[in-house]
Amino acid sequence: ARLKSGLSKTRQILTTDIDELFLGKKLVDDEMLEDLEERLITSDMGVQTTLAIMEKISARRSRIAGAAALKTALKEEILAYFEALPEPVPEAAARPHVVMVVGVNGVGKTTTIGKLAAHEARKGKKVLIAAADTFRAAAIEQIAIWAERAGADIVRHKDNADPAAVAYDGIDAAISRGTDIVFVDTAGRLHTKVNLMEEIKKIQRTVAKRLPGGPHEVLLVLDATTGQNALSQAKMFNEALGVTGLALTKLDGTARGGIVVSICSSLNIPLKYIGVGESVDDLQEFDAQQFVEALF
Ligand code: GDP
């Protein structure tokens, strides 16, 4: 239900009056295809992805009778993109499993870590957050509040400490305390792009030094309302760090939820979580089937 209401703006773009397109007609005609193409582009599925989907719909048009069949066909074609994605990385066999969380400031990184920590703690996992975004005192305070609420441990240094040192101490503490899962927060200031990537790479190396094989996951948080900008951020982080999973936030705030399809089809990185609101339960594990059902 949260997913459905979260995606309502996007669903509106995609489906409003779609039944009327078929009034007095049985099969899909050119006018409908044009109308659909516009809807997909308006929802931010990206031009390339849209054209590819439309080509497939066009090829099967003689077998599409009525609006319901058309929606089903669209769901199937979109689902195919998600099914082609690689499997998410499995949880590490040994403890702790380390997730390094990256993303540009403002995308919802802090809240996403907080929500994930809460989810894991609820499942009975022992959770630790390493507050390695030492550049933003406010972010550390925010994350400390989330950690306390979730009953998670937090490792923090004073402002402007060396982020890699915080990450190292976090892993160290997690190993000695028998922690199940560690979330390493990282900085996201974009005005010093090169330094930022170097800083995060250093965190990555430092984690690996203390815990060979770690970090097991590099989770990139993207803000769906930034549309194609999110796509270019993803490319930048992926080139520098090798992103293994995506979290896409604020889908509830946008009519452009098609960006999910656009990002998945162009990046080939598994989408793990989507955010459809500000409360803990609004961060959901991505389920492709449920997602397409909510879109149409
Ligand atoms: P950070 O700078 O990346 O750490 O971003 P924050 O975690 O501080 O989030 C920025 C704002 O986005 C906050 O007001 C969050 O409540 C909000 N936010 C995060 N995720 C979502 C979401 O899925 N939906 C909505 N509507 N707001 C979100």
Nearest CA to ligand 1 atom 22: 250
| pLDDT tens by residue, 219-231 | 999 999 998 899 9
Between helices 228-241 and 193-210, what is the axis angle to 10°?
Answer: 50
Q: How far is CA 238 from the centre of its chain?
A: 13
Binding-site sequence positions: 103-110, 185-189, 249-252
Binding residues for GTP: 103-110, 185-189, 249-252
Q: 107 in ligand 1 pocket by Cβ < 6 Å?
A: yes
ipTM: 0.98
Best probe residue, ligand 1, of 186, 250, 281 (max atoms within 8 Å of C-beta)? 250
With CA atoms as reference, report the closest residue to 166 among 194, 140, 197, 189. Answer: 140
pLDDT at 250: 97
Measured distance CA(175)–CA(193) in Å, rounded: 32
What is the 8-class DSSP label of residue 60?
A: T
Q: Does the Cβ of 249 fall within 6 Å of ligand 1?
A: yes
> What would the 3-class secondary structure string for 94-146 be?
CCCEEEEEECCCCCCHHHHHHHHHHHHHHCCCCEEEEECCCCCHHHHHHHHHH
Give the CA dihedral 200, 106, 222, 130, nearest 10 degrees. Answer: 40
Q: What is the mean pLDDT of residues 251-274?
A: 93
Using the structure block, give the residue that is written with the tokens 């803000």: 223
**104 CA: nearest ligand 1 atom:** 3
Question: What are the pLDDT digits (tens) for 171-218?
Answer: 999 999 999 999 999 999 987 778 999 999 999 999 999 999 999 999
Q: Is 280 in the pocket of ligand 1 (CB under 6 A)?
A: no
pTM: 0.95
> Measured in angstroms, how far is the CA atom of residue 187 from the centroid of ligand 1?
15
Q: Residue 227 corresponds to which tokens in the numbers above?
A: 């549309």
Q: What is the pLDDT of residues 119-137, one digit of tens each?
A: 999 999 999 999 999 988 8
Rounded to 5°, the CA angle 111-113-114 comes to: 60
